[in-house]
Every structure is written in structure tokens, then in C-alpha cells.
């Protein structure tokens, strides 16, 4: 997030797109509710009539995967109505001319048939965002899990840049991170493009720095993503180590994923339970769980916080860092002389400019949001205040609309989109093993609009067979107008409804993030 | 709270006399807030600093010079040159009488601390003002709602004192409006719409009503399963393990067992709020399915428990073999978005320093 969580109580206009925040980030959503109570207006773009959509002043139930079209038309309205922050555009951005010329071609009337919402509503959304003072954007995986995920994010940046809603209290572009430490995994350099602290791998200066630190010549080029690695299993990739991820269930195209992992010569899994992924491994290590281990995690507002051990680990479980270090040592690697989580974290701080002012003891009270470039620095709750990083200009990007990787046709005439539920988390390895949760959410269902249910011959509580180009599953039907006509929804949480057998139609060409939010399907009664 | 409220920090600085001392305050502060900043320990039952002041319990009354009757400090704004006494013989007697009345109306004064964050507030005040005198007796209010079979929230309204903190936190803090008040006086009932179970209401089971209840009328059913477990309750500050908001929590443990979770009121991300997962979905960590020893695949094709040494050697040997046979670009590492930094850091270092590649990713693409 560019802005701190507490800023969520301060926007004048909230634009929430592709985020089911009351279910996926409920505590953050309470702040938006307070802002609304205090008079803020809200525009929600989401195919489903979520709780957030019900609270909105304007809900745009756009067709899944049509976000770029909506955002182009909103930019068009902002420009046409003279709602551009001229001084911000002049002082802090570049390439605006080309962009402003581009969006002239995309009025709401052009976007309406693509988004399947009235042009007047798109017009209204553009006016509301453009007039908000300040306007804040919140988004989640509904924006990124598309073949055009990067285009979606850049389209959001465009409208924020046009209106000067960056670097100000109550504004910003705010992705809500879905996992407790997914931000931290990136901070730590567990990505193919960056060393710890977002130092690019393809910059020889950093490659040399880490080669020296780690005592090995490291490639001065990006690695491959997990998606590519899975595609190459058995053909280039022959050994894999996976920590705390139930890849088989959470990733798209389950059959492909299972086949990939089975093709490896050597699969090592570290986890707290024997997951479906662990069952394919050659060795499985028992890791300590939350509450059993000391450590650090970074939240969605870049706040670096300590986790503390409350009870001893069950059985012989060990911290992940210890397990990985021991494997490294047994391969003759002499750079793993860590004695505690503190040692590991302090090494990360030493090598990462964004953490340079931090150490284990300094983060004891959760006070700091990175970047914290030096000791005595107060941290950075709000990014881009006054200027962008390194004095750079905010770049407008010229983006065009593309259809999803697969679109509906006679064979697969319904859009499937997927997401999460309030009471379940991911593949339920944790919430499924917590007493009482099943009372609130005993099973997964497929949400179908009443008109579609009638057309397809589906009944509330009855079973449906849902198929895509990759496979089919059976699932109980819930008839509800939460789903719009022509679109069905389910979560990926339940093992008996392995929806990721169906998904995986395409990937964003830049990030290789899977298009989990769009999958044409056929639904029929069983 | 020793600092001024953030929303008032730009207001005019004024002075008043508080228990004989001259103190500064900002225009807009209530007498209670000023007293609280100066650690005066003014008693309250209906007060939660996150909610609008309510003025129902009348325990926070103070003496203000020039005003004949005691005033409720939580709803009265401090004024320039005001002279306030937070504790006098008359005020304390008034407080004691109020607490004696509360005791007479409630069936249980002592509740287990596992009931909730604020559950000891009434008990502590009753003891502080020595109010277990039995001076009053008569009608008791409320009825236990034993019909609500939800596994998380105990609804024992026999212990309700009508402070409405639960109703207010649900509305003001959560924006859920799942519960409301029916009737008044001895017949007061906290109910859902049409008095259905919580599950059939707007309730999201965030547990905020439980945590703000000052009497244990609302209790954390899950934590209370361990009310009779041996040992003191220990609190360990940590961060919730679910979504990216990063709510601060206190893990409650007895001996080696995690027994519950309470929100941290001073957590910067959540300021005392939690959701159903963070509040109630903690016991997975001591579930029987936890892996307790390393597993290794033997010749029969099955995974078997083994010793650490064997598993670590086997893991290392497999990576060495892949490197020797297929080259250093044949090994790939996937770090977790769920485990702490130290896990992700060592994982990327393992790949980079052992194989010299950037063949590392995490689970953010799915």
C-alpha cells in the first residue's frame, strides 16, 4: 500500500476494485466503514454484489476481466471534464501527452458493452473519482489475477497520476496483500527478479554485492518464475524445495501442477501439516507453526512486526530457517552459521537498503514501516510524498483493452470467477483444523444467479457439474443474486471442490500471475 | 494514554485544576480523558475508548466546583479554569453504592479471565470499592441465551449490566449492526434481529462484543474450554497469521497449550479489532495432524517417519545429485508467504549461495 492503514478512515472518495474486503481483509474494511459513516462516498467495481458493493454509493458489476476498459473510460471522463490535477501532472509525471491523446478514443459508450454496465454509471464513476478530494484506490487479486494484471495496475496508476492522488493523506494506490507475510517474502528477495530489499538481480552491481556476500558467483540475470519452473519440471528442473505452500491445491490447473511435481527427481517440502503437496514429496520436514517460533513479518502497509513464541513446538518441529540452513550446511555451504531468527533478520537488514535502519530489537514495538534507510529514520508510512523514489517522474502508460485468455463460447458459455470466504483461509489447512469454523461454513457452494439457475435447470442445494477446457468438478448449488447473470462464483478453499482443476487458462506475460479470476465454464445439473 | 487525542492535537491548550494540581488539556477533551491522561484511575463500566462516550454507568462521576451534583466525566467536556476532584468521600460512596446495586442484580461477580479482554473490569471495581456487602437484594435481570449453539460466543445475559458496549462496538467499530437492545430496565435484552441465532444475523463472529464486555456476560466459548486447565494464563504479543493486514494479538497460553487469542488494543494495524479467523481460528497449531517428525519416502513408495539426520542428509544429497547431473539451473526454490522473514530469507540465500542462480519465487503468483 502506498498509504498507511489508518489513512483508510480519511478518503473523500473510496474506489474499491476487485477487492472483497469485508471477507478477505475484514479489519481493514472496518476502517472504510468508518470513513463512510463520516461522509466518504464509495464506488465499487466488482462483478459480484459483495458486502462492500452493498455499502457503495455506486456499484459497477463489470464483466470479469473488463477492468482496463472501465479504467480507460474513467480516465476519458476525468480528462474530458477537466478534473486533471494540472500542477501534479506538470511537476511530477512524464509521458502525459501521449496518454491523454490515447484516452480520447475511449468514452464510456465504448466501454459499456465490454464491461456490461451502463455508460452513465461509468461516467458517474469517473466523475466521482475525479472530484474526490482525496480519492483512494483499494484493490486485491481481482485486479492482479488476470492475463492483464499488470495492465490493470498501471491503469489504476494512470488515474491516480492524472488526479494527483498520490503521496497525500487519505489517497494513494493501495493493494491489500492476501497472506500474512507475502509482502515479507518479496522484501526478503524470495523472487526471481530481486535480491533482498528489491535490489534487481539483473543489475551487475547488486549481483556482485551478493556474490561476494554469499561466496558464490550469482547470475546477473533474472531467474524464472514458479509458473515457468513448474512448466519445466522433468525437463530442465529436476529438484525443488517448497516451503509452506500447498501448491497442488492453490495453484491453477491442478492436474498440470500434480504432473509437474511428480516429474521431479527430488522434491523437498517443509510444512506444518502433510498437505496434498507434501504427499508428493521425497522428504517432508515438520516446521514450527505460528505461536511456536520467533520471527518477523511485514504487513500490507509495509509495517515490520515481530512474531513471538508462546508455546514449545509440537513433536520435533523446527523453524524453517533452521531446516533450510541445515540442508545448506550439509551441501558444504559455509554461509549458514545462524544461531537464531535474530541473526537471520539482522543479516537481512544489513544487506537491504529499505531495512538498513532496522534491526531485531528496534522493531520490538511494530513502529516502523519501510523504507527505513538509516538508523534514527522514523520510517515511511506514506510513499511518494513530495517526490517519487529517487526523484523519478510518475510515468503514464498507454494501455489497450484485451480479452481474457479464454472467452465464453457455445461450449463454455458461463464465466467462472473465484475468491475467498470470510471464515476459510486458502486451502483450509489451518481454518479447516480450527474447532467451530465448520459451524459457520460447512461446505463450499457455487453461487448462481436465479435467472441462470432456471435457464440451466439448477436447484438451490442440488448438485451441478462444472467443466472447463481442463476438467470438471461437482459442486452444490447456491442460488443467489450475489452473482450477476452469466457469472458463477466459488472459492478455492475446499478440498472436495477442487476448483483449480478448472482454472489456469492464461498468465500475465510480465508477472506470470495466473488468470484465476476468469475461466469460461459449462454448468449442468447432475 | 499520556498523549492528546490525535484529532485534537491542533486545538487550543487550556488549563484546569485536577485533584489540586494545575494541568494542561486541549479544547475538546472530556474530563475523563484529561483525568485518564494523568493516571487518575477514574472507574468506568460503560466506557471503551474506541467508542462514543455513553454516560450510562455513572461510575465516572467527579466533583466539579460550582456544580451541585456530581457530573459524568466521560460525557462532560473539560473547560478552562475548571476545578475537578476525581475522588472524594462523597464520590467514592456514590460509586460504592452503584456497584453494590450492580452486584445485587448480577448472578456472578467472578468470571474467568479467559472470558474476554475486558471481562475482569466489573470484578476489579467491585473489589476496589469493597462492594460485596449484600446490602441490596431483589430482582435480577437478563436471561441466559443457551439456545444459541454457536461455538464461539457465550451469551449469558444473566450477567449483563446494560452498558451496551457490545451493541455499540458492533455498530460503531464494526459497522455490522448485528445486535440491538430490546426493552429497558430489568427487562433489557440484547438481541439479534427477530431474536434469531447469531449465525442467522449480520454477525461476522469477529468477537469484538466478547472482548469489550466488562462482566463476562459475553464470553469467549473457545477459550473457556480451558477454564479448568491447570496453570496461569500467559499472554504473548504476536501478529495474526492470516491475511496481510497484520493485526496485533495476544496469544493466551496455559503451560504448553495455546488456549485463546485476544486483540491487542494498542496494535497499530488493528487498534483492538480482529476478524473471526484471527479471533477464533488459532487451535490448528496444536491439532493432532501436525507433522511431528520428518518423513522420508522409502522403497515401498510410502512416506515414513525418520530421524532428522537421515532426512537432512537425504535432502542435501538429492540437490547435490541434481546439480551434478543436470547443472545448477536444475534446482528451484519456493518460499512461503505464510512463514516469517527468516524462512524466506534463508530459502533465497540457499538457492543463490548454493547454486548461483535466481531460481527462487514465492507463492504470490497464485
Q: Where are the domains of chain A?
A: 5-177, 414-525
Q: Do A297 and B239 touch (CB under 8 A)?
A: yes
Alpha-carbon dihedral of residues A147, A152, A153, A154, nearest 10 degrees?
110
Residues B220 and B143 in one domain: yes
Could you tell me the end-to-end alpha-carbon distance of chain A, in angstroms, rounded to an integer?
44
Contact flag A265-B358 (C-beta cutoff 8 Å):
no
Q: What is the CA radius of gyration of chain B?
A: 27
What is the overall mean pLDDT for chain A? 94
User: Is B1 within the bounds of a domain?
Assistant: no
Q: Is B259 within the bounds of a domain?
A: yes
Percentage with pLDDT > 70 across chain A: 100
Q: Measured between alpha carbons, how far is A42 from A402 in angstroms, rounded to an integer? A: 27
CB A240 within 8 A of CB B331: yes
Paired residues of B263 in beta bridges: B249
* Domain extent at residue B15: 6-87
Q: Note the pLDDT of residue A66.
A: 97
Contact A328 B350 (CB under 8 A): yes
In a domain, B93, yes or no: no
Please name the residues between 211 and 230 in chain A that touch chain B, using a CB distance below 8 Å. Answer: 211, 214-219, 221-227, 229
Distance of CA B221 to the CA centre of its chain: 14
Show the cell assigned to B28. 475538546
Burial B211-246 (b: 16+ CB within 10 A, else e): bbbbbbbbbbbbbbebeeeeeebeebbbbbbbbbbb
- What are the angstrom distances between the C-alpha of B117 and each of A288, B103, B272, B283? 27, 20, 10, 19
A94 vs B142, residue with greater confidence? A94
Where helices occur in A133-239 by DSSP H, the ranges are: 141-144, 149-163, 182-187, 204-214, 226-231
Question: In this structure, what C-alpha cell is assigned to residue A85?
Answer: 490535477
Residue of B nearest to A141 (CA): B366
**Contact call for B238 and A291, based on CB within 8 A:** yes
- Is the bond preceding residue A371 a cis peptide, omega within 30 degrees? yes
In which region does residue B8 sit, left (phi positive, over 0), alpha (psi from -120 to 50) or beta (all else)? alpha
Could you tell me the CATH number of the domain that includes residue B76?
Answer: 3.10.20.740
pLDDT given at position B1: 45
Question: Given CB atoms, is A52 within the 8 Å cutoff of chain B?
Answer: no
> Is position B195 within any domain?
yes
Pair A257, B363: CB distance under 8 Å: no
Q: Cβ separation of B363 and A185 shorter than 8 Å?
A: yes
> What is this model's ipTM?
0.94
Conformation bin of residue A86: beta by default, left when phi > 0, alpha when psi is -120 to 50: alpha
Tell me how many degrees the CA angle A128-A141-B202 measures, rounded to the nearest 5.
75
Cell 470466504 appears where?
A421
Q: Which positions in chain A touch B329 (Cβ < 8 Å)?
A: 236
Q: Confidence class of residue A516 from pLDDT cuts 50, 70 and 90? A: confident
Cα(A204)–Cα(A187) distance, integer angstroms = 20
| Total domains in the fold of chain B | 3
The count of other CB atoms within 10 Å of the CB of residue A211 is: 18
- Mean predicted confidence (pLDDT) in A398-406: 94
Same structural domain for residues B29 and B121? no
Average pLDDT, chain B: 93
Whole-angstrom Cα Rg for chain A? 24
Would you say the CATH fold of A414-525 matches that of A5-177? no
What integer is the mean pLDDT of B325-344? 97
> Are B238 and B162 found together in one domain?
yes
Q: Cα dist. A22→A53, A84, B74, B134 in Å?
A: 10, 31, 32, 47
Instruction: HSE, CB side, 13 Å, CA atoms: give it for residue B176.
Output: 27
The verdict on residue B92 lying in a domain is no
CB atoms < 10 A from the CB of A465, how many? 14
CB contacts, 8 Å: A325 with chain B:
346, 350
Q: Is some CB atom of chain B closer than 8 A to the CB atom of A249?
A: no
b/e map A258-290, b = 16+ CB within 10 Å: bebbeebbbbbbbbbbbbbbbebbbbbbbbbbb
Q: What is the pLDDT of residues A285-339, one digit of tens each?
A: 999 999 999 999 999 999 999 999 999 999 999 999 999 999 999 999 999 999 9
Residue A343 burial class via C-beta count within 10 angstroms: exposed 0-12, middle 13-18, buried 19 and up? middle
Residue recorded with cell 502508460:
A397
Q: What integer pLDDT is reported at residue B107 of this predicted model?
A: 76
Query: Which residue of B342, B360, B364 to mutate against A (max A Cβ within 10 Å)?
Result: B342
Q: Look at residues B56, B87, B118 and tell me which one is the last residue of a structural domain.
A: B87
Please, are residues B341 and A187 in contact by the beta-carbon 8 Å criterion?
Answer: yes
pLDDT computed for residue B332 by the predictor: 98
* Contact with chain B for residue A472, Cβ under 8 A: no
| Residue of B197, B235, B250, B358 best to disrupt the A interface, most CBs of A under 10 A | B358
User: Which residues does chain B have within 8 Å of residue A323's beta carbon, measured at their own beta carbons?
Assistant: 312
Topology at the third CATH level for domain A5-177: Dimethylsulfoxide Reductase; domain 2 (3.40.228)
The pLDDT value given to residue B249: 98
Residue with cell 472482548: B211
B321-358: string of b/e by CB count within 10 Å (b at 16+)? ebbeeeebbbbbbbbbbbbbbbbbbbbbbbbbbbbbbb
Reported as type and span, the H/E element at residue B334 is strand B331-335
**Chain A residue with the nearest C-alpha to that of B356:** A218
Last-in-domain residue among B30, B53, B87:
B87
Mean pLDDT of B26-34: 95
Under a CB-based contact definition with an 8 Å cutoff, are residues A270 and A240 in contact? Answer: no
Nearest chain B residue to A285, by CA: B294
Tell me the residue ranges of DSSP E strands in A325-436. 394-395, 414-419
Q: Which residues of A397-413 are buried (b: 16+ CB within 10 A; e: fewer)?
A: bebebeebbbebeeebe
In this prediction, residue A8 carries a pLDDT of 97
Q: Which of B87, B107, B134 is the last residue of a domain?
A: B87
* CATH code assigned at B279: 3.30.70.20
Query: Across the interface, which of A181, A289, A436 has its CB nearest the CB of B151?
Result: A436
Question: Using CA atoms, how far apart are residues B189 and B180, in angstroms rounded to an integer?
Answer: 8
Looking at the fold, whether B64 and B116 belong to one and the same domain comes out as: no
What cell was used for A484?
450477476
Q: What is the pLDDT of residues B265-311, one digit of tens each?
A: 999 999 999 999 999 999 999 999 999 999 999 999 999 999 999 99
Which of A125, A151, A126, A152 is CA-nearest to residue A139?
A152
Is A515 near chain B, with CB under 8 Å?
Answer: no
Answer yes or no: do B333 and A241 touch at CB < 8 A: yes
Lowest mean pLDDT among A401-405, B39-43, B136-140, B221-225: B136-140
Which three cell numbers, joined as nine digits, stand for B156?
449469558
pLDDT at residue B366 in the model: 53
pLDDT digits (tens, 9 = 90+) for A148-166: 999 999 999 999 999 999 9
Mention every residue, 6+ apart, whose C-beta is less than 8 A from residue A42: A13, A14, A15, A16, A32, A36, A52, A55, A56, A57, A58
Contact at 8 Å (CB) between A353 and B354? no
Do B201 and B78 share a domain, yes or no?
no
Is the Cβ pair B338, A512 closer than 8 Å?
A: no
Instruction: For residue B23, give how far its alpha carbon lies from the nearest alpha carbon of chain A (Å).
Output: 29
CB pairs under 8 A between A and B: 481
Omega before A137 cis (within 30°)? Answer: no
First to last CA, chain B: 43
pLDDT score of A122: 98
Contact criterion met (CB < 8 Å) for B241 and A341? no
Spatial contact of B145 and B179, defined as CB atoms under 8 Å apart? no
Contacts of B337 in chain A (CB under 8 A): 179-182, 184-185, 244-245
Cα B269 from Cα A301, distance rounded (Å): 9
Q: Is residue B168 part of a domain?
A: yes
Residues B243 and B138 in one domain: yes
pLDDT per residue as tens digits for the range B148-189:
889 999 998 888 999 999 999 999 999 999 999 988 888 888
List CB contacts of A477: < 8 A, sequence separation 6 or more: A445, A446, A448, A453, A458, A459, A460, A461, A462, A463, A464
A414-525: CATH, from 2.40.40.20, 3.30.56.10, 3.40.50.300, 3.30.1490.190:
2.40.40.20
Kindly state whether residues B225 and B251 are assigned to the same domain. yes
Amino acid at each position: 500500500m502506498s498509504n498507511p492503514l489508518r489513512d483508510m478512515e480519511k478518503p473523500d472518495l473510496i474506489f474499491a476494485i476487485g477487492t472483497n474486503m469485508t471477507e478477505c481483509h475484514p479489519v481493514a474494511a472496518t476502517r472504510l466503514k468508518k470513513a463512510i459513516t463520516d461522509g466518504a462516498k464509495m464506488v465499487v467495481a466488482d462483478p459480484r454484489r459483495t458486502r462492500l458493493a452493498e455499502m457503495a454509493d455506486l456499484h459497477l458489476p463489470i464483466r470479469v476481466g473488463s477492468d482496463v476498459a472501465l479504467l480507460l473510460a474513467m480516465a476519458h471522463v476525468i480528462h474530458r471534464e477537466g478534473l486533471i490535477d494540472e500542477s501534479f501532472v506538470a511537476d511530477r509525471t512524464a509521458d502525459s501527452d501521449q496518454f491523454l491523446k490515447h484516452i480520447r478514443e475511449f468514452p464510456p459508450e465504448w466501454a459499456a458493452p465490454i464491461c456490461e454496465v451502463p455508460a452513465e454509471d461509468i461516467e458517474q464513476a469517473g466523475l466521482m473519482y475525479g472530484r474526490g478530494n482525496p480519492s483512494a484506490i483499494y484493490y486485491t487479486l481481482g485486479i492482479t489475477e488476470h492475463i492483464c494484471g499488470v495492465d490493470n495496475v498501471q491503469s489504476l496508476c494512470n488515474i491516480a497520476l492524472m488526479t494527483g492522488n498520490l503521496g497525500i493523506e487519505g489517497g494513494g494506490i493501495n493493494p491489500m496483500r492476501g497472506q500474512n507475510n507475502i509482502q515479507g517474502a518479496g522484501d526478503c528477495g524470495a523472487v526471481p527478479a530481486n535480491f533482498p530489499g528489491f535490489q534487481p538481480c539483473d543489475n551487475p552491481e547488486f549481483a556482485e554485492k551478493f556474490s561476494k556476500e554469499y561466496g558464490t558467483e550469482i547470475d546477473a540475470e533474472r531467474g524464472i518464475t514458479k509458473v515457468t519452473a513448474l512448466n519445466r519440471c522433468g525437463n530442465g528442473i529436476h529438484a525443488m524445495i517448497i516451503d509452506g505452500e500447498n501448491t497442488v491445491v492453490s495453484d491453477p490447473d491442478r492436474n498440470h501442477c500434480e504432473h509437474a511435481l511428480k516429474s521431479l527427481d527430488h522434491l523437498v517440502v517443509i510444512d506444518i501439516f502433510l498437505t496434498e503437496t507434501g504427499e508428493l514429496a521425497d522428504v517432508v520436514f515438520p516446521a514450527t507453526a505460528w505461536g511456536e517460533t520467533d520471527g518477523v513479518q511485514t504487513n500490507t502497509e509495509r509495517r515490520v512486526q515481530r512474531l513471538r513464541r508462546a508455546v514449545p513446538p509440537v513433536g520435533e518441529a523446527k523453524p524453517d530457517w533452521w531446516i533450510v540452513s541445515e540442508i545448506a550446511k550439509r551441501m558444504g555451504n559455509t554461509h549458514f552459521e545462524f544461531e537464531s531468527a535474530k541473526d537471520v533478520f539482522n543479516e537481512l537488514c544489513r544487506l537491504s537498503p529499505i531495512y538498513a535502519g532496522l534491526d531485531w530489537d528496534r522493531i520490538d514495538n511494530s513502529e516502523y514501516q519501510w523504507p527505513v534507510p538509516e538508523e534514527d529514520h522514523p520510517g515511511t508510512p506514506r510513499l511518494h510524498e513530495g517526490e517519487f523514489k529517487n526523484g523519478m517522474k510518475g510515468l503514464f502508460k498507454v494501455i489497450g483493452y484485451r480479452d481474457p485468455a479464454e472467452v465464453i463460447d457455445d461450449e463454455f458459455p458461463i464465466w467462472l470467477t473465484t475468491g475467498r470466504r470470510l471464515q476459510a483461509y486458502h486451502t483450509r489447512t489451518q481454518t479447516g483444523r480450527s474447532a467451530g469454523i465448520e459451524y459457520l461454513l460447512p461446505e463450499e457452494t457455487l453461487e448462481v444467479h436465479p435467472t441462470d439457475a432456471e435457464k440451466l435447470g439448477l436447484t438451490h442445494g442440488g448438485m451441478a457439474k462444472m467443466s472447463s477446457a481442463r476438467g470438471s468438478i461437482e459442486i452444490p448449488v447456491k442460488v443467489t443474486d450475489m452473482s450477476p447473470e452469466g457469472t458463477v462464483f466459488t472459492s478455492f478453499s475446499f478440498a472436495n471442490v477442487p476448483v483449480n482443476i478448472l482454472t489456469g487458462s492464461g498468465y500475465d506475460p510480465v508477472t506470470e500471475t495466473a488468470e484465476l479470476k476468469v475461466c469460461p465454464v459449462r454448468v449442468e445439473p447432475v | 494514554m499520556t498523549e492528546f487525542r490525535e484529532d485534537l492535537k491542533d486545538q487550543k491548550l487550556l488549563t484546569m485544576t485536577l485533584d489540586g494540581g494545575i494541568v494542561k488539556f486541549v479544547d475538546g477533551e472530556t474530563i475523563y480523558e484529561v483525568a485518564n491522561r494523568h493516571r487518575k484511575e477514574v472507574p468506568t463500566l460503560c466506557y471503551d475508548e474506541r467508542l462514543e462516550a455513553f454516560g450510562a454507568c455513572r461510575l465516572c462521576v467527579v466533583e466539579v466546583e460550582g456544580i451541585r451534583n456530581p457530573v459524568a466525566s466521560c460525557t462532560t467536556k473539560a473547560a478552562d479554569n475548571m476545578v475537578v476532584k476525581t475522588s472524594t468521600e462523597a464520590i467514592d460512596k456514590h460509586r460504592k453504592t452503584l456497584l453494590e446495586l450492580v452486584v445485587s442484580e448480577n448472578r456472578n461477580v467472578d468470571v474467568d479471565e479467559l472470558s474476554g479482554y475486558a471481562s475482569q473490569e466489573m470484578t476489579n471495581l467491585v473489589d476496589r470499592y469493597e462492594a460485596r456487602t449484600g446490602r441490596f437484594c431483589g430482582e435480577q435481570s437478563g436471561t441466559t441465551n443457551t439456545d444459541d449453539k454457536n461455538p464461539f460466543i457465550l451469551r449469558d445475559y444473566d450477567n449483563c449490566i446494560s452498558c451496551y458496549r457490545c451493541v455499540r462496538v458492533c455498530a460503531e467499530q464494526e459497522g455490522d449492526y448485528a445486535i440491538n437492545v430490546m426493552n429497558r430496565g430489568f427487562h433489557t435484552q440484547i438481541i439479534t434481529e427477530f431474536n434469531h441465532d447469531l449465525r442467522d444475523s449480520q454477525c461476522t463472529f469477529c468477537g469484538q462484543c466478547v472482548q469489550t464486555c466488562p462482566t463476562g456476560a459475553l464470553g469467549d466459548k473457545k477459550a473457556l474450554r480451558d477454564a479448568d486447565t491447570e496453570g496461569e494464563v500467559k499472554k504473548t504479543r504476536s501478529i495474526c497469521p492470516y491475511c496481510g493486514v497484520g493485526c496485533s494479538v495476544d496469544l493466551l497460553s496455559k503451560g504448553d497449550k495455546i488456549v485463546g487469542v485476544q486483540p491487542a488494543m494498542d496494535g497499530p494495524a488493528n487498534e483492538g479489532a480482529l476478524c473471526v479467523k484471527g479471533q477464533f481460528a488459532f487451535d490448528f497449531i496444536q491439532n493432532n495432524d501436525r507433522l511431528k517428525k520428518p518423513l522420508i519416502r522409502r522403497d515401498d513408495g510410502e512416506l515414513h517417519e525418520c530421524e532428522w539426520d537421515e532426512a537432512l542428509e537425504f535432502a542435501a544429497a538429492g540437490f547435490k545429485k541434481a546439480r551434478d547431473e543436470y547443472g545448477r539451473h536444475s534446482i528451484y526454490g519456493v518460499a512461503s508467504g505464510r512463514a516469517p522473514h527468516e524462512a524466506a530469507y534463508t530459502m533465497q540465500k540457499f538457492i543463490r549461495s548454493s547454486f548461483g542462480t535466481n531460481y527462487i519465487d514465492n507463492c504470490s503468483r497464485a
